Structure 1
Amino acid sequence: MSNYKKVTHVLFDMDGLILNTEDLYTVAFQNIVSRYGKDYTFDLKQKLMGSQGHETANFIVRALELPITPDEFITETKEQFEALFPDAALMPGARRLIEHLHRKEIPIGLATSSSEESYHLKVDKHHQELFALFPYKTFGSSDPNVKRGKPHPDIFLVAAEKFPDNPKPEQCLVFEDAVNGVKAARAAGMQVVMVPDPRVDKSLTEEATVVLKSLTDFEPKLFGLPPFED
């Protein structure tokens, strides 16, 4: 218990944490780069998770030496996303946790590096009801106040400012799946629960306050939040 501090507000990443979209990003990017004889490896993916759209495009085009511009890459990804994202599935435990916190009137916010356009592609077909439980949403690739993507703290600081009672960073708990997201949360002065891809090296998860295999393993009472009733 001594490792954990009581929190009053909760911020959620979306991709790879609430929605199983990280696999879809991999498919989309591989579909594009394979046309140029390149591979979108997990090592490359790890470096990019949590980046804003333009940061991702710049990095992939440069790292893989693609014969297209970042803007052309973004255009191609939009076609891929429109085909893949509408059927994104929920990750285990996500619905239970979000609905529990909402029911217990714990202030929750969404802090995703996705653009607002990308968010709607992922949510509107199957998940509008669940995401309606988030009164505060921050879209890193669309919000002009989020100057830099993760691992910089910008998105979590901007997201926390949307809570009307203006909590301090240490009062906020972040849920993340990506190494860059954990670094961003810690840089913002917040505790962070990490649910990493099982391929992530354990040495890269050490900055997280706690590391879980799944959101189903989360125990709210560790952070002074109301416990599950079932």
Structure 2
Amino acid sequence: MGDKVVKFEPITHVIFDMDGLLLDTEKVYESIIKKIASKYGKEYTLEVRSELTGRTQVDSAKIAVEKMKLPITIDEYLEQYHPLCREFLQTPDLMPGAEKLVRHLAKHNIPIAIATSGNEWLSKIKTQNHVNLFSEFHHTVYGSSDPEVVNGKPAPDIYLICASRFPDNPSPDKVLVFEDAPNGVEGAYSAGMQVVMIPAPEVEEELKRHATLVLTTMEDFVPETFGLPPYDE
């Protein structure tokens, strides 16, 4: 990254990813996919994981089946995947710093929304213990079940659609995105938005190249960096 100087532009709207960013779900997804893979004597590697993380369910299933050479169809994979998700994703914790930032932005009337590659029914299950917090968001776009989202992450579609659903339809350069997955970062970057990346520790440097800012945790975020109101304390 060397001498690269990044200039942060002031923003007016914020879009958040959900899995691995607001909710601590990635380890659960990993164990679910490992469980399916092991039935066929296959290994869920870091390489496959980095390819499918952040994508829609169908795209993820396609990559999982193809890359791990599973002897099943995409539909058969999803028939195993969905019940495991229902069972194990009932009570995920919030990621560090997530609640503080969301409450802060809502308090200061900064328009916020969610752009998740997941679908609506599973997202409702995952957020059932945090309904009060998730009600702070103006809207949510579900990449796996929204008919307008033709191409999932890493395409920019979901971010542009999410921004357009704010009442004042902000310009992409006025939107800040929070993401953990490289596929999500690529999509936000392609949409012309600034993006704060909070990656898993094992994500390679090369996959962080389009992030405007890379943080270890949301607790490290300084709102005024992007022209947002500072925290009260």
What range describes the TM-score normalised by the shorter chain of this pair? over 0.9
Q: CA deviation at 1:2?
A: 6.6
**After alignment, is 49-58 or 215-224 more displaced?**
49-58
Distance 1:34 1:173, change over 3 A: same
Aligned residues: 229
- The counterpart of 2:204, out of the listed 180, 201, 205, is 201
TM-score normalised according to structure 1 size: 0.98
For the residue of structure 1 that corresponds to 2:106, the secondary structure is helix
> Which digits, 9 at most, give the CA deviation of each residue in 1:25-82, with x for residues without a partner?
1011111110000111122111111111111111111111111110011111111101
Q: Which residue is equivalent to 1:32?
A: 36
> Which digits, 9 at most, give the CA deviation of each residue in 1:122-159, with x for residues without a partner?
011x1111111112110000001111111100000010
Maintained 8 Å contact 2:32/2:85 = yes
Distance 1:44 1:2, change over 3 A: closer
One-letter amino acid of the structure 2 residue matched with residue 27 of structure 1: S
Q: Indicate yes or no: 2:94 matched with 1:90.
A: yes
For the residue of structure 2 that corresponds to 1:89, the secondary structure is coil
> Which digits, 9 at most, give the CA deviation of each residue in 1:179-220, with x for residues without a partner?
111100010000000000011112221210000000000011
Q: Which residue is equivalent to 1:169?
A: 172
2:45 and 2:222 mapped to 1: Cα distance? 33
One-letter amino acid of the structure 1 residue matched with residue 32 of structure 2: A
1:63 and 1:206 mapped to 2: Cα distance? 24
TM-score normalised according to structure 2 size: 0.96
Q: Which residue is equivalent to 2:74?
A: 70
Distance 1:193 1:2, change over 3 A: closer
Q: Which residue is equivalent to 1:46?
A: 50
- The counterpart of 1:55, out of the listed 35, 59, 76, is 59
Q: CA RMSD in A?
A: 1.0
One-letter amino acid of the structure 2 residue matched with residue 205 of structure 1: K
Instruction: List, as ranges, runs of 4+ consecutive aligned residues in structure 1 with deviation greater than 2 Å.
Output: none
2:163 and 2:206 mapped to 1: Cα distance? 28
For the residue of structure 1 that corresponds to 2:151, the secondary structure is coil
**After alignment, is 59-68 or 215-224 more displaced?**
59-68
1:54 and 1:2 mapped to 2: Cα distance? 35
1:145 and 1:154 mapped to 2: Cα distance? 9
Q: Which residue is equivalent to 1:111?
A: 115
Could you list the runs of 5+ residues in structure 2 that have no partner in the other structure? none
One-letter amino acid of the structure 1 residue matched with residue 133 of structure 2: L
1:64 and 1:147 mapped to 2: Cα distance? 25
2:170 and 2:190 mapped to 1: Cα distance? 16
